[in-house]
Amino acid sequence: MINFEEELKKFKPCLEIEDAEEAIYAYETKDIVDILGDMIKEINNNNE
């Protein structure tokens, strides 16, 4: 039978996952609100 408490003591997070988290959080992406805001600014600038 598996002793979960012993297994948890042995657990070490995967370095690849930690690297991926850093890369994901460091990369700034635009969400739909940012994109729509940019489009509205561009339309307003073209109409002036």
Q: Which residue has the tokens 């460091």?
A: 26
Q: What is the pTM of this model?
A: 0.41
Per-residue pLDDT tens, the chain, 48 aa: give them: 889 999 999 988 777 877 888 877 777 777 888 899 999 999 999 887
Classify 46 as helix, strand or coil: helix
Instruction: Report d(CA 20, CA 29) in Å as an integer.
Output: 15
pLDDT, position 38:
92
Residue 48's pLDDT is what?
77
Q: Which residue has the tokens 């598996």?
A: 2
CA distance 32 to 38: 10
